[in-house]
Structure 1
Amino acid sequence: NNNEKIENPGTVEDLHKKCKDVFPINFGGAKIVVNKGLSNHFQVSHTINLSSSDPGSYKFGATYMGTKVLGPGEAFPILYGDIDASGNLNGNIIHQFGQRLGLKFQSQVQGNTFLAYQLTGDYRGDNYTGSLTVANPNIINKTGILVAHYLQNVTSRIALGTELIYQCSPHIPGGQIAILSMMARYTGRFFDFKNNLILGTN
């Protein structure tokens, strides 16, 4: 159909998330979550996990939504995170620079040490999305991970994409490794089908 509208396919991360959301998250015990909105832009949360095998844990979370509105329910920047009783912190920053370009920063801090941090940039074209992620770069130790994604709708139901993962570390034989894979998604009326094919490693 030459008149069919081919829209943006979203990101590869969204594609993986849809697959993971199919499976339930099982845990033993109980979880209590209390959310409280303090204003139109700020809310806090309290999360208590109770388990018979592990001691209970508590996390305090906060979310801020900015004043830049791009659409219904879409306001940027978004800052959210949580901290537990031991001082371990998870933080996230999401911002959209218009309808096409977006950035996301994620970090995990334990004590005074950054355990993990990564920056992701997404560019959304009319019928494609390109993404680039840099995770845990360390020039001194020569470590880090680089992930590049490209996903394009070729029809209203079929999307094709590619993923390149590059990692460097002294613990890897040769000091570096790269993995290239292809992916495809078929969207039916009541289902999504997705498949990955790894082309090669080195």
Structure 2
Amino acid sequence: MERFCDDNFYELPKHRPPSSTLFSPNICHLRGIVLSPLNPGNISNLHKKTRDIMPEWVEGLNFRCALNLDVHKTVCMDWLMGNSTPGGFRFGGMYCRKDNDSITKTPIIVGDTNPSTLATNFHIIFHPLPQIKLETKIQTGRFPNNLDLDDTIGTAEFLSKSSTISLALYNPKRETGRMTIGFLHNFNKNFCAGAELLFEWMKNKPQYNLAIAARYSEKRNSIAATISNSALDISLWHQSNDLLQFGASLIMDKRTSRTLGSLCYQYEMKDTVIKGLIDSDWTVGCTYTRKLKNLASAVGFSILFCIPTNKFHCGLKFELNSNLK
């Protein structure tokens, strides 16, 4: 199982490794929470349009079965077999509150576990008020290579009409931990800007870092950038038509002296999605997914090839899902 991370721009992210998730999980949309169209979201989602069209790799054979028990309850099972990705069986589900009008609202609880190792994931989203969002991710148990993990990420957000204030804690302990405080404001329907303060403590040695973020977006175009004294992240997104999207990303990390540029695309037809990527490390790959609505299922194929290292990953995934009817 892939270990989650805090996904911030202070560290240079690597390409997504082969994981057991090829199709987006059918959690549910927060239909009970209606946000202002001018709300910019949080800084961690500043590059979301570009990240969403990047392929998600799968290695080996993955079989997934998801069944809706009700509008607010879903159970799922995953079985993964691979060479470089640890195989195994996982069982989980989703539960969210049900109102009298059968519209799902928060809290949303998503979890899965490996019965043999008890490696467990929990993801909880809760809106006590429409303007306040609380979220936590917990990962615990024994993972491959006999590695015991106990990771926790907790976030709190205040969502106003045109601004978002966020507070996030990553594995907070007395000896070590990380905290970020972010603010993002929409000046108009096209432009937003803000800042994020990072505070880390490790063995009584606190460290601070400040990053500036901005995004300009139109209906079919978007450019976003985050910059600090140790890193730079720039992303571009363009929608040529209703079927084709392009994205570009440039990430520079001064601490690791590493730079990574990526080009990606997404071509989406009625029941088919094709994604591709090439980067400055000469990693080339693509994914193909197709929904088979008559069979309430989907099939996906993934290819990833790194030319300098001559490494090749290939994956195939089948999904049975009652939502695909």
Tell me, what secondary structure is at the counterpart of 1:20?
Answer: helix
Q: Give the corresponding residue for 1:96.
A: 127
Of the three residues 2, 5, 11, the one matched with 2:42 is 11
Of the three residues 124, 130, 154, the one matched with 1:119 is 154
**Does the C-alpha gap of structure 1 residues 131 and 55 become closer, same or farther in structure 2, counting only changes over 3 Å?**
closer
Note if contact 1:145-1:165 (Cα within 8 Å) is conserved in structure 2.
yes
Match for 1:135: what amino acid? Y
**Does the C-alpha gap of structure 1 residues 122 and 68 become closer, same or farther in structure 2, counting only changes over 3 Å?**
farther
Tell me, what secondary structure is at the counterpart of 1:138?
Answer: coil
Tell me, what secondary structure is at the counterpart of 2:171?
Answer: strand
Q: Residue 191 in 1 paired to residue 198 in 2?
A: no
Q: Residue 40 in 1 paired to residue 60 in 2?
A: no
Deviates more, 1:10-19 or 1:181-190: 10-19
What's the offset of the Cα at 1:52? 4.1
Q: Give the corresponding residue for 1:178.
A: 208
Note if contact 1:37-1:43 (Cα within 8 Å) is conserved in structure 2.
yes
Q: Distance in 1 between matches of 2:121 and 2:171?
A: 15
Match for 2:181: what amino acid? A
- Which structure 2 segments of 5+ residues have no match? 1-35, 143-147, 232-325
Q: Distance in 1 between matches of 2:129 and 2:216?
A: 29
Match for 2:128: what amino acid? F
Note if contact 2:71-2:104 (Cα within 8 Å) is conserved in structure 1.
no
Per-residue CA deviations over 1:62-116 (Å, capped at 9, x if unaligned) read 11011369x99651111111101311001111100221001001111115x7611
What's the offset of the Cα at 1:33? 1.3
Q: Distance in 2 between matches of 1:47 and 1:190?
A: 36
Aligned pair count?
190
- Which structure 1 segments of 5+ residues have no match? none
Q: Distance in 2 between matches of 1:75 and 1:54?
A: 35
Tell me, what secondary structure is at the counterpart of 1:156?
Answer: coil
Match for 2:141: what amino acid? Q
Note if contact 1:9-1:159 (Cα within 8 Å) is conserved in structure 2.
yes
Note if contact 1:182-1:199 (Cα within 8 Å) is conserved in structure 2.
no
Deviates more, 1:8-17 or 1:179-188: 8-17
Deviates more, 1:179-188 or 1:49-58: 49-58
Note if contact 2:98-2:104 (Cα within 8 Å) is conserved in structure 1.
no
Note if contact 1:107-1:114 (Cα within 8 Å) is conserved in structure 2.
no
**Does the C-alpha gap of structure 1 residues 188 and 58 become closer, same or farther in structure 2, counting only changes over 3 Å?**
same
**Does the C-alpha gap of structure 1 residues 60 and 185 become closer, same or farther in structure 2, counting only changes over 3 Å?**
same
Q: Give the corresponding residue for 1:60.
A: 91
Q: Distance in 2 between matches of 1:80 and 1:178?
A: 33
Q: Give the corresponding residue for 1:165.
A: 198
**Does the C-alpha gap of structure 1 residues 159 and 96 become closer, same or farther in structure 2, counting only changes over 3 Å?**
same
Tell me, what secondary structure is at the counterpart of 1:76?
Answer: strand
What's the offset of the Cα at 1:177? 1.1
What's the offset of the Cα at 1:20? 2.0
% identity of equivalent residues: 24
What's the offset of the Cα at 1:175? 0.8
Tell me, what secondary structure is at the counterpart of 1:7?
Answer: coil
**Does the C-alpha gap of structure 1 residues 55 and 181 become closer, same or farther in structure 2, counting only changes over 3 Å?**
closer
TM-score when normalising by structure 1: 0.84
Tell me, what secondary structure is at the counterpart of 2:70?
Answer: coil
Match for 1:97: what amino acid? P
Q: How large is the RMSD of aligned CA atoms in angstroms?
A: 2.5
Tell me, what secondary structure is at the counterpart of 1:36?
Answer: strand
Q: Distance in 2 between matches of 1:79 and 1:9?
A: 25
